[in-house]
Copies of this chain bind each other. A is one copy, B any other.
Amino acid sequence: MNAPLLTPSALTTSSDRLWASLMTLAQLGATPRGGVRRLALTDLDAQARALVTGWLRDAGCTLQCDAIGNLYAIRPGTEPQASPVAMGSHIDTQPNGGRFDGQYGVLAGLEVLRTLNDAGITTRRPLAVAIWTNEEGTRFQPVMMGSGVYAGAFGLDHCLTQTDGDGTSVAQALAAIGAAGTDPAPAFDAYFEAHIEQGPILENEHKVIGVVESALGQRWFDVVIEGQDAHAGPTPIALRRDALLAAAHLTVAVREIASTHPDYARGTVGRLIVSPNSRNVIPGRVEMSIDLRNARAATLDAMTAAVQAAAARLAREHGVSITLEQTAHFEPCAFDASMLAAIESTAIAYGYPNMRLASGAGHDAVYVARRCPTAMIFVPCERGISHNEIENADPMHLHAGANVLLHAVLARAQRA
């Protein structure tokens, strides 16, 4: 191990090679509009697994596969018994997915190994690239299945018995593509996941590297508002019990609560169904969703209390009933401070414009963080669009993320 090689100017990944591997992988399930349709545990997923594990073997890795189909490519270190420093993500896609979501984290890890091979570097700790099964959760639920089983968030047997729309179980699908492994899941010293941001912040702020401090906790509510249907003509304003008007005030309140709370607060009403939904009938019933997110559990609790108070006040003011049922709850996840510092200092050393931010969406890293120190590196994606065939990213930004990953991993892998 030669210290000068670890400076950014002396050791860098190959932008062209990284882009070429992304574009080659993207041919498996390529859609006419430039996206990828490669659902978990399909024949296309099997082809992608074979392609990428072939590349990883060629890069000097041994391959392991566990019972939920997670793949672990291990590159030996000078201390073989030390736990590996891992990179990775997933290679399944949404039904109308893009070329970068998940795939970038895996192939950036491959690119790091190839770069080290070219430079003749062997790290103290082994390195690993993990490919987590079924992150997207579109064919089989729950989402983030492979990393969730790895972390103990879901039982293996529970996941193996989940079925798709055709009645095929996860166990059957794993067997059908030869992805039902018997290897134990390795313990990692640390896990780095590079990913496109899937949001607009970096592009808007003209940053290249996002140092992901945390993944937001989430609370999902189903709301039912019951008022009284009435004819829009004969019913004067003072006698109305308008469920949609109460819903409108609640929608405004959710935004205000998100705007006035700290810690990356977000609040969204994405779904709203009006009944009877006729232009000359005052709506008697509304069903709506509320999605609250925050990086800190205490602030998320405060936002929840504020929404509940607003709902109670609006129910009184509008003569309606409002019920909120919490249907899902994900705790915030804070990533490892020392790993974040390493990512940040590497970005600074390269001169990449960077910023701290939070991940608003779920990622495999959120589950893996339950087992080992974990951090994420974000790079911009065009207009923040993801889960879409037109998902796009700048090769220079992808290269920058791989370089930051390289040096953050190298630094970690030298630690005792």
Contact = CB atoms under 8 A, between A and B. Distances in A.
A248 B251 CA distance: 6
B235 A199 contact: yes
Contact of A234 (B255, B258, B274, B360): B360
A237 B278 CA distance: 31
Interface stretch (A11-19, A122-130, A239-247): A239-247
| Complex copy number for this chain | 2
A216 B199 contact: no
Contacts of A245: 251-252, 255, 269
A2 interface: no
A62 interface: no
A267 B279 CA distance: 11
B282 A199 contact: no
A360 B234 CA distance: 4
A98 to B, nearest CB: 13
B387 A233 contact: no
How many A residues touch the partner, as a band? 35 or more
Given A237-B265, A245-B251, A279-B291, A230 B271 contact: no
Nearest to A239: B200
A377 to B, nearest CB: 15
A244 B272 contact: yes
Contacts of A362: 233
A384 B270 contact: no
Given A237-B258, A360-B231, A384-B234, A274 B277 contact: no
Contacts of A265: 237
10 contacts: A200-B236, A232-B293, A234-B359, A237-B255, A239-B384, A242-B255, A248-B248, A270-B278, A270-B279, A273-B274
